[in-house]
Amino acid sequence: MNSPRNDGDPVKEIAGVMRLKEGEEAVRRVLTQIFRAGKIGTKDLAKAARLPIPVTAAIRRELEKAGLVARRGGAILTEKGSEYVTQTLGVTLGSQETETEIDQDLEVLENLRKYSLKRPPASPELDQAHATPETALKRVQYMQRRGDLDGRRLLFLGDDDLTSVAAGFLGTPREIGVIDVDERLLELIGEASKTEGLGIECVHHDLRDPLPESMLGRFDVFFTDPPYTVNGVKLFLSRGLQALRPRKVSNIYVAYADKPPLEMLELHRAITDMGMYISELTPGFNTYEGAEIFANTTSQMRLTVTARSKPTITGTYSSHIYTGEAQPRMRVYRCKCGADVLVGPKQRFSSINELKTIGCPHCGARAGFTLKKRVNL
Amino acid sequence: MNSPRNDGDPVKEIAGVMRLKEGEEAVRRVLTQIFRAGKIGTKDLAKAARLPIPVTAAIRRELEKAGLVARRGGAILTEKGSEYVTQTLGVTLGSQETETEIDQDLEVLENLRKYSLKRPPASPELDQAHATPETALKRVQYMQRRGDLDGRRLLFLGDDDLTSVAAGFLGTPREIGVIDVDERLLELIGEASKTEGLGIECVHHDLRDPLPESMLGRFDVFFTDPPYTVNGVKLFLSRGLQALRPRKVSNIYVAYADKPPLEMLELHRAITDMGMYISELTPGFNTYEGAEIFANTTSQMRLTVTARSKPTITGTYSSHIYTGEAQPRMRVYRCKCGADVLVGPKQRFSSINELKTIGCPHCGARAGFTLKKRVNL
C-alpha cells in the first residue's frame, strides 16, 4: 500500500475527494481508457474519456497518488492499477482488434445463430421482432466499448433478440439478468445459459406489474428493445430505473423504431421527463428479421441516467403498451390456393410468421401468401 | 405530362393526397434515395428513407402515377423524375464516392485550409473555438448525405468554423446565409465568398436581439455551434426556428460539448421544450484547434423540428449566454522569462491565443507559457 487512501475503493474515494459531477464513472472511464491505450497522453485521454482536460489531468494525478497510474511519457497503469482494472473493475477489452478477438467474435456469432434458429416465432402482439444474431453481437460490443459490459451487472428488459446470450458468450459481465413475459423465450435463454455455462438469471414477469423485490437497485446497466409505443417505453424505462443501483450517472441502452414526428417528440419528452438524456443515437443500428412495419431497422440510443432520474410509472400499469393494443390491426393474406386468411390479434394466426409455420388452413401451404388488405380495428 | 396532377409540385401534391405525417420531406426522401441508388427495391428504399415499408410502397406508387418513377426490377427514376430531382430539388450527390468526388473533396479541403489560416484568433468570450477545416468539410458532407444540403436554403447561426464556406465550395445549396456578431469573421467569409464566387449572404447581428425581418421564415435548414451554455443554446435555437420555413418536419444541426450530467439534462429538456427531438447524435464528431476546456471535441446532433416546434425566447434577451459570462474565469500564465500574465475577460489578453499572438508584455516571447492557476471570479 503506497497511501492510506487505498484502504477503501480508490475509484470511489477519488470521486468523493474531487467532488466530481460525473461521480465514480469519470474515474472508471479514465482508468479504463489508460488500460485500453496502454500508454496515453492527457489530451487523448480526455478525449477518450469525454472529460475536460483539466478534470482528466486532476483525476490522473489522484490515480498516481493512489499508486494505480504512473507516467512514462504518458499515463500508464502500474501493476497494481492493472490488477485493479482487470480484477476489481472486471475490464478485459484491449486496445486492438487482435486476431484472437476476431476469431472469438466469429465463434460467438456461430453460437448465437444456433440459438437464434431455436427462437419461437416472434409474437407481434408483444411487439416482438427478432433482431439478427449479428445485431445482438454488435450491441454487446457497442456496450463493451462504452465501458458498460465488462465487470458490469447487466439487466435485459425483454430479450427476444437473445442479446443477453451474446453478452454471456463474451463472458465479461459480472452478472446478467433477463426479465421477460414470454416463457417460451426464457426457456430458450435458460437452456443456452445452462448448456454454455453463461450464468444468466431468467425471471418470468410482466413489466406492467412493479419489479420483483429481488431486482430492485441491483444493476449497473440495462438494455431494452421495448414495445414500440410511448407508453411502452415509459413503462420499460420506469421499471429499469428501479433496477439500477443509485449512482450519479449510469448508461442505459434502448432500441427504438422511427415513428412519425409528433410521436417521436412525445417519446423524447417522456425521456427528459424521467430525468434522462440522450448521449448517443445511431439510426439504423439494429436489423431485424422480417419486421416490415419499421423497415427492418431501429435506432440505437444510449441514454444517460442522472441523479435526478426517476420513474414516471411506479404502480401496476393498465394502459396499452403494445402497438397492437394501441392500434389493433388485422391483415388479410391470400394463399396461392385462393383462400383468404385473417392474421392479427385474437385470430387463429397472430402473425404471418405463424401462418407460415403452421400452414394455410385450406391447403396446408407454408409459402406463397400475398398481403391483400390491412384493416384497422 | 402524363397526369393532370403534375401541374403543381408533385412532391407537395403527393404529400397532401397521402396525408403523410412527415409531409413533403417523406416524398423528397424517397425520390432522393432512388436517385442515389440508381435502382432500388422497396425494402431497401424504406430502410434508406427511414419510412415504414407500406408507406414507402405507397409513395412509390404515387410517384409512378406522376410519371417520375418507373419499375424495372426495382424503382428507377424516369427522365422526368431525374430532371425533377436534379433541377427542382437541386440534388447532386450520386451513390458512389467516385474518384472525381474524392479529388473535389481534396480541393475543397485545401481551399478551406487557406481561409482557415486567415481566421482572426478565436474569442473565448464569445465561446469561439475554431473547428478544423476537416471538421467543416465533414459537417457539410454529413448534411449532404442526410438530404439537407443539395438544393437547400441554408443558414449558419455563428460561423467561426467557416462551415458556410465549406458548403459554398461544394456548390450545391440553393442559398447560404451567415449571421454572426463578430465582424472580423464576416469580413473573411465575405472575402472568401467574393473571391471564390460562393454567393454567401453575410449578416452582422447579435442574436440576443430578435432576428432581422429579412431572415424570418426563409431557410430550410440551419447549422449552429452555439455558445456552450444552456441559455446560449435556447437562444440560438429559438432564433433559428424563426428563420425556418414552416414545414411538418425539418432538420437542424447543432454541435455541443460534453458538460456535466445535470447541465446536459437541462439542455435536453430545453430541446424537447422547444418541440424538437434528437434524430441522431454522434459523440466526438467535431474537432477543434486548441479548445482544451472540452477536450477538443464536441458531439454533433441532428434535431428534428416538428409542426409543434416553437421558440422559447422571442424578444430581446439579456441573460448570460457565453461560458465566460456565466462563470467568469481568469487564468495566470507564467512566461519562461518568469513573468506572470493575467488572461481572461476584461484583461489585456482575453485568451492564451491572444497572448501568444501579441507576446509576453515583459520579454515579448510568443511561446513557452505555462498555466499556473485558474481563478473563478
- Inspect the interface and report whether the beta carbons of A307 and B261 lie closer than 8 Å: yes
For chain B, the C-alpha Rg in angstroms (whole number) is: 23
Q: Nearest by CB to B283, from A21, A260, A279: name it.
A: A279
Distances (CA, A) of B21 to A214, A231, A260, B253: 43, 20, 6, 21
Q: Nearest by CB to A283, from B54, B279, B295: name it.
A: B279
Angle between helices B230-243 and B261-273 (to 10 degrees): 20
Q: What average pLDDT is seen over chain A?
A: 88
More confident residue, A329 or B277: B277
What pLDDT is recorded for position A332?
A: 85
Picking from B145, B2, B177, the residue whose alpha carbon sits closest to that of residue B84 is: B2
Contacts of B40 in chain A (CB under 8 A): none
Asked if residue A258 lies in contact with residue B25, where contact means CB atoms within 8 angstroms, the answer is no
Q: What is the mean pLDDT of residues A351-361?
A: 81
Asked if residue B243 lies in contact with residue B250, where contact means CB atoms within 8 angstroms, the answer is no
B99-306 is classed CATH 3.10.20.30? no
What pLDDT is recorded for position A248?
A: 86
B261/A contact by beta carbon, under 8 A: yes
More confident residue, A4 or B323: B323
In sequence order, the β-bridge partners of residue B256 are B299
More confident residue, A18 or B42: B42
User: What is the nearest CA distance from A23 to chain B, expressed in angstroms?
Assistant: 10
User: Which of B148, B265, B329 has the most A C-beta neighbours within 10 Å, making it the best mutation to test the interface with A?
Assistant: B265
User: Which of A44, A274, A278, A304 has the most B C-beta neighbours within 10 Å, making it the best mutation to test the interface with B?
Assistant: A278
Angle between helices B183-196 and B99-117 (to 10 degrees): 140
Is it the case that residue A2 has pLDDT exceeding 50?
no
What pLDDT is recorded for position A114?
A: 95
List own/partner pairs for A119-122 with CB under 8 A and 24 or more apart. Answer: A119/A160, A119/A162, A119/A185, A119/A188, A120/A182, A120/A184, A120/A185, A120/A188, A121/A351, A121/A353, A121/A354, A121/A357, A122/A160, A122/A289, A122/A291, A122/A351, A122/A353
What pLDDT is recorded for position B1?
A: 37
CB neighbourhood size of A334 (10 A): 16
Q: What is the mean pLDDT of residues A309-329?
A: 82
What pLDDT is recorded for position B312?
A: 94
Is it the case that residue B82 has pLDDT exceeding 70?
yes
ipTM of the complex: 0.78
What pLDDT is recorded for position A98?
A: 55
What pLDDT is recorded for position B295?
A: 56
B257/B226 Cα distance (integer angstroms): 10
Cβ-based burial of A16 (10 A; exposed 0-12, middle 13-18, buried ≥19)? middle
B288/B294 Cα distance (integer angstroms): 9
Asked if residue B185 lies in contact with residue B131, where contact means CB atoms within 8 angstroms, the answer is no
User: With bands split at pLDDT 50, 70 and 90, how would you rate the model's confidence at A5?
Assistant: very low
What are A100's three cell numbers? 484472437
B309/A265 Cα distance (integer angstroms): 10
Cβ-based burial of B377 (10 A; exposed 0-12, middle 13-18, buried ≥19)? exposed
User: What is the nearest CA distance from B323 to chain A, expressed in angstroms?
Assistant: 14
Cβ-based burial of A72 (10 A; exposed 0-12, middle 13-18, buried ≥19)? exposed
Asked if residue B245 lies in contact with residue B220, where contact means CB atoms within 8 angstroms, the answer is yes
Cβ-based burial of A204 (10 A; exposed 0-12, middle 13-18, buried ≥19)? middle
Q: Nearest by CB to B265, from A53, A261, A308: name it.
A: A308
Contacts of A284 in chain B (CB under 8 A): 47, 50
Neighbouring residues of A366: CB distance < 8 A, sequence distance ≥ 6:
A356, A357, A359, A360
B64/B71 Cα distance (integer angstroms): 8
pLDDT tens, position by position, A48-74: 888 888 889 889 999 999 999 999 989
Is it the case that residue A298 has pLDDT exceeding 50?
yes
Contacts of A54 in chain B (CB under 8 A): 292-293, 374
B142/B253 Cα distance (integer angstroms): 10
Please name the residue that has the C-alpha cell 397532401. B16
Q: What is the mean pLDDT of residues A239-256?
A: 95
B50/A contact by beta carbon, under 8 A: yes
**Percent of chain B, pLDDT > 90?**
54
Q: What is the mean pLDDT of residues B126-131?
A: 84
What pLDDT is recorded for position B96?
A: 44
Torsion angle, CA of A202/A206/A211/A214, rounded to 10 degrees?
A: -30
What are A268's three cell numbers? 423524447
More confident residue, B272 or B330: B272
Angle subtended at Cα A45 by Cα A44 and Cα A51, rounded to the nearest 5 degrees:
110
Contacts of A51 in chain B (CB under 8 A): 258, 295
What pLDDT is recorded for position B274?
A: 97
Q: What is the mean pLDDT of residues B240-260?
A: 93
What pLDDT is recorded for position A27?
A: 92
DSSP letter for each residue of A104-130: HHHHHHHHHHHHHHTPPPP-GGGT--P
Residues of chain B with CATH 2.20.28: 328-376
Residues of chain B with CATH 3.40.50.150: 99-306
Is it the case that residue A3 has pLDDT exceeding 70?
no
What pLDDT is recorded for position B340?
A: 86
First to last CA, chain B: 70
What pLDDT is recorded for position B74?
A: 92
pLDDT tens, position by position, A145-193: 898 999 999 999 999 999 999 999 998 899 999 999 999 999 999 999 9
What are B377's three cell numbers? 471570479
Is it the case that residue B5 has pLDDT exceeding 60?
no
Is it the case that residue A373 has pLDDT exceeding 70?
yes
User: With bands split at pLDDT 50, 70 and 90, how would you rate the model's confidence at A1?
Assistant: very low
Length of chain A (residues): 377
3-state DSSP of chain B: CCCHHHHCCHHHHHHHHHCCCCCHHHHHHHHHHHHHHCCECHHHHHHHHCCCHHHHHHHHHHHHHCCCEEECCCEEECHHHHHHHHHHCCCCCCCCCCHHHHHHHHHHHHHHHHHHHCCCCCCHHHCCCCECHHHHHHHHHHHHHCCCCCCCEEEEECCCCCHHHHHHHHCCCCEEEEEECCHHHHHHHHHHHHHHCCCEEEEECCCCCCCCHHHCCCECEEEECCCCCHHHHHHHHHHHHHHECCCCEEEEEEEECCCCHHHHHHHHHHHHHCCEEEEEEEEEEEEECCCHHHCCEEEEEEEEEECCCCCCCCCCCCCCCCHHHHCCEEEEEECCCCCEEEECCCCCECCHHHHHHHCCCCCCCCCCCEEEEEEEC
Global pTM?
A: 0.79
What pLDDT is recorded for position B7?
A: 55
Q: Nearest by CB to A47, from B43, B278, B295: name it.
A: B295
B16/B7 Cα distance (integer angstroms): 14
Which CATH number describes the domain made up of B4-88?
1.10.10.10
In sequence order, the β-bridge partners of residue A153 are A175
B130/A61 Cα distance (integer angstroms): 29
A268/B contact by beta carbon, under 8 A: yes
First to last CA, chain A: 70
Picking from B364, B316, B319, B318, the residue whose alpha carbon sits closest to that of residue B339 is: B364
Please name the residue that has the C-alpha cell 479541403. B109
CB neighbourhood size of B217 (10 A): 10
Chain A, chain B: beta-carbon pairs less than 8 Å apart = 133
On the CB side of B168, how many CA atoms lie within 13 Å of its CA? 26
B218/B246 Cα distance (integer angstroms): 9
Helix (H/G/I), strand (E/B), else coil: A65: helix
- Inspect the interface and report whether the beta carbons of A304 and B277 lie closer than 8 Å: no
User: With bands split at pLDDT 50, 70 and 90, how would you rate the model's confidence at B346?
Assistant: low
- Inspect the interface and report whether the beta carbons of B53 and A292 lie closer than 8 Å: yes
Strand segments, DSSP code E, in chain A are 69-71, 75-77, 153-157, 175-180, 200-204, 221-224, 249-256, 276-287, 297-306, 329-334, 340-343, 370-376
User: With bands split at pLDDT 50, 70 and 90, how would you rate the model's confidence at A291?
Assistant: low
A349/B202 Cα distance (integer angstroms): 62
A328-376 is classed CATH 2.20.28? yes
Q: What is the mean pLDDT of residues B184-202?
A: 96
Is it the case that residue B156 has pLDDT exceeding 50?
yes
Residues of chain B with CATH 1.10.10.10: 4-88
Picking from A194, A192, A165, the residue whose alpha carbon sits closest to that of residue A178 is: A165
pLDDT tens, position by position, A84-97: 998 888 887 654 45
A256: nearest CA in chain B?
A: B279
pLDDT tens, position by position, A103-133: 678 889 999 999 999 998 888 778 888 999 9
Q: What is the mean pLDDT of residues B103-114?
A: 87
B27/B44 Cα distance (integer angstroms): 15
A324/A344 Cα distance (integer angstroms): 8
Q: What average pLDDT is seen over chain B?
A: 88
Least confidently predicted of A72-76, A300-304, A342-346: A342-346
A287: nearest CA in chain B?
A: B47
Torsion angle, CA of B215/B216/B219/B220, rounded to 10 degrees?
A: 160
A2/A69 Cα distance (integer angstroms): 12
